[in-house]
Chains A and B, each alone.
Chain A
Amino acid sequence: MTTATANTFTAKAGWRTRLADNERLLWPLMLAPAILYIVLLVGFPFFLSLFYSVSDVTVGSRSMSFVGLENFRRVVATDTFWTALKNTLIFTIVSQVFVLVFANILAMSLSADFRGKWLVRLLILLPWVAPISLGAIGWLWIYDSIYSVINWTGQALRLLGPNEWPIWLGQPTLAMVSIIIVQIWRIVPLATVILLAGLTSIPQDIHDAAAVDGAGFWRRTLQITFPLLLPITLVAVLFGIIFTFTDMIVVFLLTRGGPYDQTQVLATWAFFTGIQGGDLAGGAAVSLFLFPVLVAVAIVFLLLARRSEVT
């Protein structure tokens, strides 16, 4: 039937119509860009780093030989690796806990009706849509050792002692706190939007039924809203964990891992070792430590999300 229709068109339209109706030709054609993208930009670098991690390749040399798990042994033996691993976990877990709390509060307030709601929504989304490098430079000034707006405000309000001038990015604990704050600021908008979508998908009837059934705000929130929101919350947390775990921008722009590697995370440490240090094999080994952890996290969360699926 399709060819009969196609034949009635002019020759030029004919081949187009035939192509548009030919599913055997069409699906590989449509999928090709996606497959190409995955193979070239995800698959190739991934297998290259697998390959590098068991070799002795460096930036400067042309020769390369198989060394087995030597790189992993070497990386694990350094103190910096363990600091970076510990920091990555702290960085991820602490920031995600706060993201969850803030995103829930924001999503709930934004799902209510009030004047100027669109403006607040826009402002909340801003950190997510603005380029992170711009944001990070802003934060760099906020945390500046001399011009820090936090310190000056603290002084003016007498929250800080007369000679108290914290160096936000220069003291190990404060530096960690600082980058965690920036990461929270960065991830909260996405989590808020995801949770907001989840909230709007709960039918109003369910909230009304709970209200008539005698539930107050807390019972409604804890026994109805949160459980119904759980699957979508897990998705938000999964995104947050992966974005935070693999992220190096905030640390790289704010502290470069300093002071003395005290804020180093696995992603920055892999970069400094492999690219700036020239030890490609070592860098590949460090970065591969991320992989099994992320796979495990993804599997656990997707399983949980499926089990708690509702309606």
Chain B
Amino acid sequence: MIILTNNPDVMKTMTERDVRFVDGTYRDVLIKARDLVHQGHQLLSHPLMGSLKPNETPYRTVALSDSGGPLDTDSLLLIENAIETFDKFAKVTRPDRGVNTPQEMLADFRLIDLSLIQSMEVNE
């Protein structure tokens, strides 16, 4: 499993996994995930996981399959929809995402993101 993330806490905690750090925004993680989908990797986690809105949390983690195969159209649709939804939120509401956010709140955002991606482990 490949884990794409811009959340340093995922990087630090999930050391047993193939975590690939994206030095960028929530959207950058989605774009990188789409690149991998085009290379034949399948999405394993939902790119919009969590009830935190895409214009609220600056952190995003996405899990994809290790090996590439033929293009998985379900994954492609899902990631395209996620990018479209992200852009909709960025446009219409609160453009100051992650800016001026207190450190304590950023830590909470990182914790939720980490906890959600770890939730697979209960059913693994």
Partners in one complex: no
Chain A positions within 8 Å of B, measured between CB atoms, are none
Residues of B within 8 A of A (CB): none
